[in-house]
Structure 1
C-alpha cells in the first residue's frame, strides 16, 4: 500500500473531484483511464501527453508497469517514477487500473464491491474515495503514533545528557 502522506491524499481527492465533475474518462485511453487521471494530477502532464508517452511502447498500464525500468529513459517510465515519488507503489498503480486492492476493497460495502467495474467512472470514484479514506486513516495513525513517541524520545535524550 502507498506510503500515506498529505500530498498523495490531496492528489487522489482532486482526481475524485475532477472525475465527479465530468473530467475526461475513458478506460482504454492511457491518459484518461483510472491511472491516467491520477497521473494527470500527480505529474501535471495532460491526458494527451500521457497517452503519447505510453504509445512509445506497447501495452496498457499493467503491461507498462511490468516493464517499468527507472533508468530506461522512456517518458512513461520517467512519469511512473514521478508517481512513485509521491509514495505510490507499482502494485498501487496496477490495483488502481483494475480496482483490485484487497485492503481497499474490504472497506467498500459488499453489495457495491461485488459489482465494481474497472471501466466505470462511478466505480473508479468510489474506489478512490475508499483509498483516500484509508490513506488518511493510516496517515493520522502515523501522526498520533509519532506524537505519542515524541515525549518519550525527549525524555530519553534528557536522561542521556
Structure 2
C-alpha cells in the first residue's frame, strides 16, 4: 500500500476535485483514465502528453507497469518513476486502474463494494475518496508513532507501509 504522505494525499484530493468538476475522463485513454488523471496531477503533464508517452510502449497501464524499468529512459518509465516518488507502488497503480485494492474497497458502502465499475467516473471518485481516508488515517497515526499502522476502519488485514 502507498506510503501515506501529504504530497500524495494532496494529489489524490486534487484529482478527485478535478474529476468532480468535469475533467476529461475516458478509461481507454492512457492520459484520461484512472491512472492518467492522477498522473496528470502528479506530473503536471497533459493527458495528451501522457497518452503519447504510453503509445511509445505497448498495452494499458497494467502492461506498462509490468514492463516498467526505472533505468530505461523511456518517457513512460520516467512518468511511472515520478508517480512512485510520491509514495505509490506498482500495485497501487495496478489497483487504481481496475479499482481493485481490497483495503480501499472495504471502505466503500456495503451495497457498492461488489458493484464497482473501474471505468465509471463516479466509482473512480468514490474509490479515490476512500483511499484518501485510508491514507489520512495512516498519516495521522504515523505522525505520532513514526510506525506504519493497520487501518482500524476495516476488518481486512491491511497493513500500510
Q: Judge same fold: TM > 0.5, yes or no.
A: yes
1:17 corresponds to which residue? 17
Give the greater-gyration-radius structure (CA).
Answer: 1
For 2:11 and 2:21, the matched residues in 1 are separated by 15
1:140 corresponds to which residue? 140
Given the alignment of the two structures, is residue 65 of structure 1 paired with residue 58 of structure 2, yes or no?
no
How far has the Cα of 1:82 moved from its partner?
A: 0.4
For 2:102 and 2:74, the matched residues in 1 are separated by 31
Deviations 1:68-107 (A, max 9, x none): 0001111000000000000000000000000000111111
Taking structure 1 as the reference length, what is the TM-score of the superposition?
A: 0.90
2:153 corresponds to which residue? none
Given the alignment of the two structures, is residue 114 of structure 1 paired with residue 108 of structure 2, yes or no?
no
Aligned residues: 146
Q: Which runs of 5+ in 1 are unaligned?
A: 147-161
How far has the Cα of 1:9 moved from its partner?
A: 0.1
Deviations 1:36-93 (A, max 9, x none): 0000000000000000000001100000000000011110000000000000000000
For 1:101 and 1:110, the matched residues in 2 are separated by 15
1:41 corresponds to which residue? 41
How far has the Cα of 1:21 moved from its partner?
A: 0.4
How far has the Cα of 1:28 moved from its partner?
A: 0.1
Cα RMSD between the aligned structures? Answer: 0.6
Taking structure 2 as the reference length, what is the TM-score of the superposition?
A: 0.90
Given the alignment of the two structures, is residue 29 of structure 1 paired with residue 29 of structure 2, yes or no?
yes
Q: For 1:77-88, list aligned pairs within 5 A.
A: 77-88=77-88
Q: Which runs of 5+ in 2 are unaligned?
A: 147-161
How far has the Cα of 1:115 moved from its partner?
A: 1.1
